[in-house]
């Protein structure tokens, strides 16, 4: 059974540019959550998608957005990149609503903004 | 919203000793508390979890305890080994609807051979 796949693994972007990250959840999982991981802040929740709808959103500016497709794959977009956006972006897959048996994380996309 | 505090931020122990990591949460409605281990350069992986109807759970050298009244839960690792060296994250969430999982800030555990 394939795990959670995130692409690309690494990205280097320039300030002001935009970036799109992709996450394919485990087959059959309908919920995808996104987290930003930085050394000082741990895992910060960005948003969760279920059945193509954003169900929860963290405290990030509007430059951070996402979407989910009918096959449950999800993308997140960051526009007008800032140096502080440099981080590891992790997506987490779970079967869905009310599921309380833990996430399966992808390997992440490491974004560096220069 | 939920707030999870985790202590200590770093922990060094001698191989064979025990390690304890503590977390507190703010939302009394939280009822699920997973722990994740993240080795260097790897993804976080679920190692153990506990639900609010249970006070303690063990899995070999790992145990988690939950005190609902005090709103805190702890991870206990006994007979630590070098491969236990990693960053550990606690988390809290609640069932019903589309809840988000709130993570603690992590504890970097170093097991010294």
d(CA B38, CA A39): 13
Contact A103 B96 (CB under 8 A): no
Distance of CA A86 to the CA centre of its chain: 14
Please report the DSSP string for B84-98 in residue order: G-EEEEEEEB--SSS
Contact B45 A43 (CB under 8 A): no
- Chain A contact set for B43 (CB, 8 A): 90, 105-108
* pLDDT tens per residue across span A33-42: 999 999 877 8
Contact A100, B51 (CB under 8 A): yes
Count CB pairs under 8 A between chains A and B: 58
Coil, strand or helix: which one is B82? Answer: helix
Which pLDDT does position A97 carry in this prediction? 63
Region B86-105 average pLDDT? 83
Region B9-24 average pLDDT? 98
Q: Which residue has the higher pLDDT, B103 or B100?
A: B103
Which pLDDT does position A114 carry in this prediction? 97
* pLDDT tens per residue across span A81-105: 999 999 999 999 988 765 566 789 9
Q: Is the dihedral of CA A48, A50, A52, A56 positive or negative?
A: negative
Instruction: Please state, for a pLDDT cut of 90, what percent of chain A lies above it.
Output: 73
Residue B103 has pLDDT above 60, yes or no: yes
d(CA A20, CA A81): 11
β-strand partners of A20:
A77
Region B8-30 average pLDDT? 96
* pLDDT tens per residue across span B25-78: 999 989 999 999 999 989 999 999 998 888 999 999 999 999 999 999 999 999
Q: What are the residues whose beta carbons fall under 8 Å from the beta carbon of B50, sequence distance 6 or more?
A: B32, B33, B56, B57, B64, B65, B66, B73
Among A56, A101, A107, beta carbon nearest to B100: A56
Contact B7, B22 (CB under 8 A): yes
């Amino acid at each position: 059974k394939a795990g959670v796949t995130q692409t690309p693994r690494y990205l280097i972007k320039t300030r002001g540019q935009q970036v799109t990250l992709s996450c394919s959840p485990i087959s059959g999982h309908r919920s995808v959550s996104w987290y930003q991981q930085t050394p000082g802040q741990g895992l910060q929740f960005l948003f969760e998608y279920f059945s193509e709808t954003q169900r929860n959103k963290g405290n990030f500016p509007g430059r951070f957005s996402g979407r989910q497709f009918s096959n449950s794959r999800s993308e997140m977009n960051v526009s007008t990149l800032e140096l502080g956006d440099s981080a590891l972006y992790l997506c987490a897959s779970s079967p869905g609503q009310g599921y309380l048996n833990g996430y399966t994380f992808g390997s992440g996309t490491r974004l560096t903004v220069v | 919203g939920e707030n999870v505090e985790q202590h200590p931020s770093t922990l060094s122990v001698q191989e064979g000793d025990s390690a304890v990591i503590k977390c507190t949460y703010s939302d009394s409605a939280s009822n699920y508390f997973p722990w994740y281990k993240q080795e260097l350069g790897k993804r976080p992986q679920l190692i153990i979890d506990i639900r609010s109807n249970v006070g303690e759970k063990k899995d070999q050298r790992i145990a988690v305890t939950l005190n609902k009244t005090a709103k805190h839960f702890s991870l206990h690792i006994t007979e630590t080994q070098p491969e236990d060296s990693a960053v550990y994250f606690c988390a809290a969430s609640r069932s019903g609807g589309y809840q988000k999982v709130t993570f603690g800030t992590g504890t970097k555990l170093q097991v010294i051979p």
